[in-house]
Amino acid sequence: EKNPVCELLGIKYPVIQGGMAWIADARLAAAVSNAGGLGLIAAMNSNGEQLREQIIAARKLTDKPFGVNLMLMSPYIDQAVDVVCQEGVKVVTTGAGNPAKYMDKLLSSGVKVICVVASVALAVMVERMGASAVVAEGCESGGHVGETTTMALVPQVADAVNIPVIAAGGIADGRGMAAAFMLGASAVQMGTRFLTAKECSVHQNYKDKVLKAKDRDTIVTGKSLGHPVRALKNHMTREFMEKENDSSTAPSELEKMGSGALRRAAIEGDVRNGSCMCGQIAGLVNSEDTCQEIITGICNDAYELMGINSLKVKPA
């Protein structure tokens, strides 16, 4: 039986790596693509030229398909869209906003667009605008989140659209993949699981914090600002929550605290004052594995549970 997402993207296994801002670079994306999944480079933290360098670097590391994640709140979004079109990137994912403004330019450049959505309404809208698939991302996921869980969002999105649905949020092993398929998804996207991959360049302090995390060690902050973000509890989230709950705090002060926080954790390793964005599944992620081991493991476990032949993977 052919998998619609594998056919759409020309990949071997229906596993996508989340395009995590400040974390998903060419090295990680290429490792995931070489392992048979779809690797994604985060455009978020780069201006146009830095993104072009990452795309060129990825091409040197893999001849398999890979994509770019366009974080729509990024200050560099317009440059990133131009570079993606100029460089002939085959597929992009979009997140943290409504991609309407960029759809025509991307689609007319022949780029396949997969939109991350947190609601049925946005899923229906992006299908009408020409998206090739949607990632239905539950609020269990790390980083910028909506308000609906994966268990509730995926089947409702699957009922509402005719394009393939990719499930994200709280998935890190075969059980999660099998569950996602039962809910109507044809593939999974994982962020936290790939954050601790051997080929992920995020600071070791951040990886160690994720590996040690338990089921209740994340928290969502920033609801009052309109972009709620899930991260591991630390000194920064405690301070942020105190300020956020203090009505005399100006939103601009919170924005200042939030900006640069992810970079501080991911690049500088400041896991006390930085923002260690991470999903609720962190408690299940307890080992640093290669991207091949991660993809082979999840597909074989899901195959054992569901008996879908296309998921059976020879051991790495």
Ligand X SMILES: O=C(O)COc1ccc(-c2c[nH]c(CNC(=O)Nc3ncc(Sc4ccccn4)s3)n2)cc1
Residues that bind ligand X (CB under 6 A): 21, 44, 71, 73, 95-98, 116-118, 122, 137, 143-146, 227, 229, 258, 262, 277
> Which of 88, 94, 29, 93 is CA-nearest to residue 64?
29
- Which C-beta is closer to ligand X: that of 96 or that of 284? 96
Distance in Å, CB of 270 to ligand X, minimum: 16
Closest approach, Cβ 50 to ligand X, in A, equals 16
Give the residue at shortest CB distance from ligand X.
143
Nearer to ligand X, 259 or 286 (CB): 259
User: What's the rounded Cα separation, in Å, for the pair 31 and 47?
Assistant: 23
Rounded to a whole number of angstroms, the minimum distance from the CB of residue 145 to ligand X is 6
Considering beta carbons, is residue 9 or 42 the nearer one to ligand X? 42
Asked if 187 and 160 touch (Cβ cutoff 8 Å), the reply is no
Strand (E) or helix (H) holding 175: helix 174-182
> Beta 133-137 vs 91-95: how paired, if at all?
unpaired
- Cβ–Cβ contacts within 10 Å for residue 7, how many? 12
Closest distance between ligand X and the C-beta of residue 302, in Å? 23
Q: Whole-number minimum distance, CB 308 to ligand X, in Å?
A: 27
For CA atoms 55, 60, 61, 63, give the dihedral sign: positive
By the 10 Å C-beta count (0-12 exposed, 13-18 middle, 19+ buried), 172 is classed as buried
Least CB distance to ligand X at residue 75 (A): 11
Q: Among residues 30 and 277, whose Cβ is nearest to ligand X?
A: 277
Asked whether the beta carbons of 156 and 208 are under 8 A apart, the reply is: no
Q: Which stretches of 1-70 are DSSP H helices?
A: 4-9, 26-34, 48-61
Distance in Å, CB of 240 to ligand X, minimum: 12
Q: Decide whether 163 or 299 has the Cβ nearer to ligand X.
A: 163
Residue 253 and residue 138: Cα distance in Å, rounded?
Answer: 28
Sign of CA dihedral 196, 201, 204, 209: negative
Q: Is 96 or 177 the residue whose CB approaches ligand X more closely?
A: 96
Rg (CA), the chain: 18
Q: From the CB of 161, what's the least distance to ligand X, in Å?
A: 15
DSSP strand pairing (165-168 vs 187-190): parallel
> 231 and 278 in contact (C-beta within 8 Å)?
yes
Between 134 and 299, name the residue whose CB sits nearer to ligand X: 134
Q: How far is the CB of 85 from ligand X (least distance, A)?
A: 21
CB nearer to ligand X: pick between 14 and 138 = 138
β-pairing verdict for 15-17 and 112-117: unpaired
Handedness of CA 34, 37, 18, 289 (dihedral sign): negative
Q: Residue 67 or residue 97: which is nearer to ligand X going by CB?
A: 97
